[in-house]
A and B are shown apart, each in its own frame.
Chain A
Amino acid sequence: GQNIDQPTEMTATEGAIVQINCTYQTSGFNGLFWYQQHAGEAPTFLSYNVLDGLEEKGRFSSFLSRSKGYSYLLLKELQMKDSASYLCAVRGTGGYNKLIFGAGTRLAVHP
């Protein structure tokens, strides 16, 4: 079966660092994505990992361990506008670039 797990909610303080974890069990693996989704809006692309290791992009970094079926998204220097849901998604090997999404982690950033 296909299963992607993320914590439902997290809170953090403005200026701090937060790590959002994602574990997955899928029938195939061909890349992992992180998307940001503000309430009532469409998901926007944050990061992509297909090999093990850390990908850094400004205040956002994403890590992947394929052997452990594990990824995390690291957000540094948190800002109020980072309050959103963060969706972990896995691309399988079935073709047509289909993504399977987790339910998302709702992050609340407080002053």
Chain B
Amino acid sequence: DAMVIQNPRYQVTQFGKPVTLSCSQTLNHNVMYWYQQKSSQAPKLLFHYYDKDFNNEADTPDNFQSRRPNTSFCFLDIRSPGLGDAAMYLCATSTLTGDSKKLFFGSGTQLSVL
């Protein structure tokens, strides 16, 4: 089945140690998003790609970077994780054609920072 896959499901890192989260999709969607969701809060958009064009949200910290080497894969790099970066990180995809253009989410990566 076509889907959005995030690895790993759970990630533990140390304070200040770089970490990379990955996302892949078989939907061939143009747009890929990274959202951060802290406990009992709304998912917050960090950035998105339209094809290879990168779009950063104005309030996304510089500590967060992203790479999209091809249509299928997208990575979230946290250069120096702090305790406040512990959260669920959600990858999503969408197309800009069609009726609702709904977002398809991966299962998320729960990041813990020790």
A residues near B (Cβ < 8 Å) are 4, 8, 31, 33, 40-45, 48, 50, 87, 91, 96-104, 106
**Given A97-B94, A98-B48, A45–B103 Cβ distance below 8 Å?**
yes
Residue in contact with A42 in the complex, picked from B31, B44, B99, B107, CB distance below 8 Å: B107
| Interface contact A96-B50, CB-CB below 8 Å | yes
| Interface contact B42-A104, CB-CB below 8 Å | yes
Q: Given the complex, which residues of A lie within 8 Å of B108, measured CB to CB?
A: 40-42
Using an 8 Å CB-CB cutoff, how does the interface string of B30-69 with A read, 1 for contact, 0 for none? 0101010000111111001010000100000000000000
**Given A40-B110, A96-B48, A97-B31, A103–B103 Cβ distance below 8 Å?**
no
Q: Given the complex, which residues of B lie within 8 Å of A87, measured CB to CB?
A: 42-43
Q: Given the complex, which residues of A lie within 8 Å of B96, measured CB to CB?
A: 96-97
User: Number of A-B pairs whose CB atoms are under 8 Å?
Assistant: 59
In the bound complex, CA of A4 to CA of B42 (Å): 10
Of B43, B55, B94, B107, chain A has the most CB atoms within 10 Å of the CB of B43
Q: How many residues of B contact A (CB 8 A)?
A: 27
In the bound complex, CA of A100 to CA of B35 (Å): 10
In the bound complex, CA of A40 to CA of B6 (Å): 14
In the bound complex, CA of A104 to CA of B50 (Å): 27
**Given A87-B43, A97-B96, A98-B45, A43–B105 Cβ distance below 8 Å?**
yes
Taking the closest CB of chain B, its distance from the CB of A90, in whole angstroms, is: 11
| Interface contact B43-A101, CB-CB below 8 Å | yes
Task: Known A-B contacts: A43-B105, A97-B31, A101-B35. Give 20 more (CB < 8 A).
Answer: A31-B101, A33-B103, A42-B90, A42-B105, A42-B108, A43-B43, A44-B105, A45-B104, A48-B100, A87-B43, A91-B101, A96-B55, A96-B96, A97-B101, A98-B45, A100-B42, A103-B42, A104-B40, A104-B42, A106-B40
